[in-house]
Amino acid sequence: MYRNLQEFIAKLESAGELIRIGTPVSSIYEIAELTDRQAKSAGGGKALLFEHTDKPFPVLTNMMGSERRISMALGIEKPEDITTRIEALLKQVTTPKDSLSDQLKMLPLLGEVARWFPKKLKRRGECQQVVLTGDDASLDILPILKSWPCDGGRFVTLPMVNTLDPKTGIRNVGMYRMQIFDGKTTGMHWHRHKTGARHFDGYKAAGKRMPVSVAIGGDPAYTYAATAPMPDNMDEYLLAGFLRKKPVKLVKCITNDIYVPDDCDFVIEGYVDPTEPLVVEGDFGDHTGFYSLKDLYPRFHVTAITHRKDAVYPATIVGVPPQEDAYISIATERIFLAPIRLVMQPEIVDMTMPAAGTSHNIAIISMNSRYQGQATKVTQGMWSAGQMMFNKYLVLTPATTDVRNSEQLAALLRNCDVQSAVIRGEGIYDVLDHATATTGYGGKLALNLTEVTENSRKGAVSAHIALPEGVTMRTEFVEKWSTLLLFADNRLQVDLAAIACQAGVDCNFIALFDSRAAEFDANDLLWIAAANTDPNRDIALAGNCLTIDARAKVPGDAGNPVRFPNVVTSSEEVIEAVDSRWAEYGIGEFIDSPSRKYRKLLLTDKAEW
């Protein structure tokens, strides 16, 4: 794999996957706007290296933002290769060993596994070529991005947050955004379901200050591993060692006893004091495409900053999909598909999480089905499996289905019997989900399409439907997807059941969106529908139809959340400023701002409605 981030950058450039921008740029809004345009280009565009920022260090963005670049980051040709490698390993481990000869054959495998374990070095690391302590250890030296106009400040977006279990000493490496409060303190945004939060609770119970070290950069396999949904108490650097096929070399920090990768670009050392009151963190334009709103989180204190002499600051931006995280999720699908189907859910053949679902909201699986209730069993298992507990909508298809083939999926949805296909549940949500009235908990819905056969529900154009005043419709998705689209102001009371009585002979699904989304394409509407709905409140069976109210929710009304966030977009001023400088960047043909389209969805000029 890569000796450092600089070697990966060189590899990207030689492969034609990197654009260098030599003109000076600002870390406030400008880098994010340029990156957003690139990330939403065909196939994820290119990685961007901003060589001259408003701070002493260059910035790298979108480095894993395509299938090719995430594959390059993990040292593979294509994402499917990692599934094959893990399956081969798991089969070797789980196959019964009945004889001494069979057991001896395991020795080479054990030796290979041993080489993946991280190794501690006794010297200082490349990440400690420059050591800043005291007043010199200021976050103000770093080109930390502010991406969106309603963000609460600048945020570190690719931090590898290293913490230790206070009882066992077992390390966790998580990725928790960090809002800059001043040169010496940040927020520490670990959610209640995350291991970092559990460690924090342990230090709080023990009445001890919690050491934390934040690594940034280095081999991109480290960054990926920090995002991966690893089981609790399993070292993320072991996963990185497996991906690299060699161990992660670790060095001890200067002001605490945490070990971090030798070759990373920056290390921010410090602590969180559990006796301090929590602080307001946010707002933040998040990967859901909406702002995650202000909340209370711990304060992180900086005790030292170390870095390489040639350090590059890597950052990601998140917002309306697709962004870089969509391609990182592809790797996660491939890596964790093998253990899911070999150990947890052997019925599963394949799985995908479309970008429109922003990782957790939508999952589509194909599965073998041999007995009644098997789809329900798989659904319940998936909603209990690690970070799949955050899943909101699950679609189960026959084993022969290509889960990435829209034609095959459309045929299943078109020909299903909705009433028998629906499986409902309740459970854990990602705390970033804004649709549920109870943070971190809400309804779930699965569609069992494993037994769909051809029938007469082919779909037809529903031109005869009488709509209430203020409601418009689009019928182009009825024939293929058996889905009628309606649009109305989000404050208008619309009787979807009454409309379903008229449309039931023509379609299986009726989805109601805000009038502002009337011209959006299918992917954008799917993103909005998954993000803006709680299945318990917003989805109902009406005869042969499943009705979906995907409009923005009036805060506090009829079981709605008390706060409802705005969509994430750049401001008109930033868009126009980047447009005016386009020729200076020297990055080729003009790319219009995606925010121009999504600004139609804005409810106010603030982070929340």
The residues assigned a catalytic role are 286
What single DSSP character describes residue 110?
H
State yes or no: cis peptide before 283, omega within 30 of 0: yes
3-class DSSP state for residue 3? Answer: coil
Which residue type is seen at 150? C
233: left (phi over 0), alpha (psi -120 to 50) or beta: left
State yes or no: cis peptide before 102, omega within 30 of 0: no
Residue 29 and residue 54 in contact, taking contact as beta carbons nearer than 8 Å: no
What single DSSP character describes residue 340?
I
Nearest to 48 by CA among 35, 36, 37, 57: 35
Rounded to an integer, what distance in angstroms lies between the CA atom of residue 316 and that of residue 326? 12
Rounded to an integer, what distance in angstroms lies between the CA atom of residue 77 and that of residue 480? 34
In this structure, what is the dihedral angle of CA atoms 483, 488, 493, 496, given to the nearest 10 degrees?
Answer: -10
User: Token pair for residue 50?
Assistant: 């901003």
User: Token pair for residue 459?
Assistant: 């779909």
Rounded to an integer, what distance in angstroms lies between the CA atom of residue 65 and that of residue 71? 10
Give the per-residue SS3 of 390-415: HCCEEEEEECCCCCCCHHHHHHHHHH
Give the per-residue SS3 of 214-237: EEECCCHHHHHHHHCCCCCCCCHH
In this structure, what is the dihedral angle of CA atoms 154, 566, 444, 337, given to the nearest 10 degrees?
Answer: -40
Residue 576: count of CB within 10 angstroms of its CB: 12
Which residue type is seen at 411? A
Rounded to an integer, what distance in angstroms lies between the CA atom of residue 265 and that of residue 214? 11
Q: CA angle at residue 275 from 274 to 281, to 5 degrees?
A: 60
Residue 145: count of CB within 10 angstroms of its CB: 26
Sign of CA dihedral 191, 223, 362, 608: positive
Residue 292 and residue 252 in contact, taking contact as beta carbons nearer than 8 Å: no
User: Token pair for residue 440?
Assistant: 């971190």
Q: How far is CA 112 from the centre of its chain?
A: 31
Phi, psi of 306 (to 5 degrees): -125, 155
Whose tokens are 């990967």? That residue is 287
State yes or no: cis peptide before 322, omega within 30 of 0: yes
Phi, psi of 398 (to 5 degrees): -60, 160
